[in-house]
Structure 1
Amino acid sequence: MADLVVIAFPSEEKAESVRQRLLEMQKEYLIELGDAVIAVKREDGHVRLNQLVNTTAIGAASGVFWGALIGLIFMMPLVGAAVGAASGAISGALTDAGINDKFMKEIAESLQPGNAALFLLVRKFTADKVLQDLEGVGGTVLRTSFNDEQETRLREALAGAGHTAPAAPAAGETPAA
């Protein structure tokens, strides 16, 4: 079961830097993401989605391959490649893997122009290490399917209100009991 987390940021650059941090943590096996999409509300009010995977391009590339292969059978590889690319691009554009695009656009409509939202589909994660790494990055949690305790810990980490060790007493002071 995956959890959904939506965090708003003041800019696309800030959202992208947090997404890159999470992708680095994924390489260290601290978090497993099903999807990580940035939705940006442009100054004209339109919402643009910055997906990790471009399904249209992948569909077109695989369509070219299969179209050319089938075209070779009928002695028309260029026609087959062109038809395959077109049909692959169409099927790729209609494919919606991960978080629903319509849902992301609806949530992003509530943002101020120029702001961005980071949509995360979290399959599993090591909470203490991930939250420690995200401590103080900022952002506002808009939605989450976490339980109340996890959501509170996430909000505190983003705000930089994590648990810190007590300061050592200064020279000449006695520790408080």
Structure 2
Amino acid sequence: MAATLSVWEFDTSTGADEAHVKVDRLHAEEVFTVSDGAIVSWEPGTRKPRTAPFPSADPEGALGGLFWGFLFGVMFFVPLIGMTLGAATGIIAGALTDVGIDDNFIRRIRRDLRPGTSALFVLTSSTEVDRLTEAFRGANARLLQANLSDKQEAAIRTAFAD
């Protein structure tokens, strides 16, 4: 079944943590199934964001820490060392494009997440995206999504299997 990576961006450093509580509750009530997810919070005055995986993610559907570490590394740390890496930077970004997470997606998140903001990353099946979107109706958040085909999701799972 195809998956969607939804990213909810918040204008506060605590917005994603607060939203995670809601997602966790709705997941527990079986309103929708969260395969995996992570929280990125960037406190004002700090040099880099804090990242944390969802502790309540579905163990069967979780992508795992390797995936989130790679994704967040590309988003936040590769730009800092990009000049040193040279051409390797393009190869790293290209690896994500091959699995449905394109450069525009990465660039937008990189541009929007700054000190004092946060983001909630949620992986669900594509059939459950509408329920997740409905849960955030009226929230002060911006939504960005990457739709992954079955083949792309399988490639991610294979590449980042524990």
Question: What runs of 5+ residues in structure 2 fail to find an aligned partner?
Answer: 56-62, 77-109, 149-162
1:104 to 60, 68, 72: 72
SS in 2 for 1:17: helix
Deviations 1:23-65 (A, max 9, x none): 1111121211111211123433312102223xxxxxxxxxxxx
Q: For residues 6 and 23 of structure 1, do their structure 2 counterparts lie closer, same or farther at Cα, with a shift above 3 Å needed?
A: same
Larger Rg: 1
Find the counterpart in structure 2 of residue 23 from structure 1.
Answer: 24
Specify the SS of the correspondent of 1:29.
coil
- Determine what percentage of the aligned residue pairs are the same residue: 18
Letter in 1 for 2:16: A
Aligned to 1:34: 35
Between the aligned partners of 2:9 and 2:73, the Cα distance in structure 1 is 13
Alignment deviations for residues 143-163 of structure 1 (CA, whole Å, 9 cap, x no partner): 4327xxxxxxxxxxxxxxxxx
Distance 2:66 2:35 in 1: 6
Aligned positions of 1:46-125 closer than 5 A: 46-53=48-55, 96-97=64-65, 99-107=67-75, 109-110=110-111, 111-123=113-125
**Separation in 2 of the partners of 1:13 and 1:41?**
9
Where 2:72 maps in the other structure, the secondary structure is helix
1:99–1:137 CA distance, 2 compared to 1 (3 A): farther
Q: Work out the CA distance in 2 between the residues paired with 1:21 and 1:125.
A: 19
Do the aligned residues in 2 keep the contact of 1:5 with 1:120 (CA within 8 Å)? Answer: yes
**Is contact 2:41-2:49 (8 Å) kept?**
yes
User: 1:73 maps to what in 2?
Assistant: none
Cα gap change, 1:20 to 1:126, in 2 (>3 Å):
same
The alignment's TM-score, normalised by the length of structure 1, stands at 0.49
Letter paired with 1:49 = T
Pairwise CA RMSD of aligned residues?
2.9
The CA distance in 2 between the partners of 1:127 and 1:96, in whole Å, is 20
Change (3 A) 1:117 1:130: closer
The match for 2:10 is: 9
Segments of structure 1 that go 5 or more residues without pairing to the other structure are: 54-94, 147-177
**TM-score (normalizing by structure 2):** 0.53
Shift of 1:7: 1.6
**Counterparts of 2:66 and 2:25, CA distance in 1:** 19
Aligned positions, number: 106
